Structure 1
Amino acid sequence: MLEFAGFLPILLVIGMAAVQLGLIGYGVNQAGTAARAAARVASQDGHGPAAGTAAGRAAVSAWLAPQVSADMGPDTTTATVTVHVPAVIPLFGGWDVSRHATMPTDH
């Protein structure tokens, strides 16, 4: 019983770290998907950066607080999405994860 009580805090920290890594992976996946969606919509003829930003926000879970920017150039459109992954372990403040995607601009 004493051995279990001694290892319980270590097991809890390992479990919380595993959950945290899963959340970070989920945030990376969501940011990448949103960046591709934002770049794809923004690059289409007649849509522009505002539509791309809206598409990027719609592609992410709202609790990740996405920040989306789409920059349309003459040949390519690049979208950047940054999400905030909250911390499961109380000593940390969370992490910001960014992903970029570039698509050819339709003319």
Structure 2
Amino acid sequence: MAKRAGRGDRGQAAVEFIGMLPVLILIGLAVIQTGIAMYAMEQAGTAARAAARTAGRSGMENGCRRAGEAAISGWVAKRTEIRCRIGVDEATVSAEVSIPSIIGFDLGSTTKTVTMPRDMARP
């Protein structure tokens, strides 16, 4: 009797897929985590720029932190620390965002610093 071709390979593709599934999931999580980290970096820059613009205006120095937090997403604002240093000629703002993790490891934080000249003419 002739043996059917390929009969002994039944389920092989499924077994290979199941074997590769953890690797594919790990790659997918790494891609998503990289995107979240890059988003946190972008949000830190946005917060620092908005806060520095506000701190640079005469009479608006006290609104520095609020302006930085208002410029970014709410879930990122909760993880953000904004430090305003206002001098005579310039305002320097640092925004530090703790990077959220979906994989359970502490990924640290990202900090962006922006310096803007002070506009003393505007009240």
TM-score, L = length of structure 2: 0.81
Shift of 1:62: 2.4
For the residue of structure 2 that corresponds to 1:83, the secondary structure is: strand
Runs of 4+ in 1 over 6 A off after TM superposition: none
Does 2:71 match 1:56? Answer: no
The separation in 1 between residues aligned to 2:33 and 2:19, in whole angstroms, is: 23
The separation in 2 between residues aligned to 1:84 and 1:72, in whole angstroms, is: 24
Q: In structure 2, give the amino acid aligned to 1:79.
A: V
Query: Counterpart of 2:32?
Result: 19
Root mean square deviation, CA, Å: 1.1
Query: Counterpart of 1:78?
Result: 92
Unaligned stretches of 5+ residues in structure 2: 1-13
Shift of 1:93: 2.3
Identity, in percent, stands at 40
Determine if contact 1:60/1:66 at 8 Å carries over to the other structure.
no
Shift of 1:103: 0.3
Unaligned stretches of 5+ residues in structure 1: none
Determine if contact 1:41/1:47 at 8 Å carries over to the other structure.
yes
Shift of 1:75: 1.3
Query: Counterpart of 2:9?
Result: none
> Which is higher, the Rg of structure 1 or of structure 2?
2
Query: Counterpart of 2:6?
Result: none
CA offset digits 1:70-93 (Å, max 9, x no partner)? 111111111110111211113x12
Does 2:19 match 1:9? Answer: no
The separation in 2 between residues aligned to 1:87 and 1:68, in whole angstroms, is: 21
For the residue of structure 1 that corresponds to 2:110, the secondary structure is: strand
The separation in 2 between residues aligned to 1:37 and 1:31, in whole angstroms, is: 10
Count, aligned residues: 105
Shift of 1:59: 1.2
The separation in 2 between residues aligned to 1:86 and 1:39, in whole angstroms, is: 24
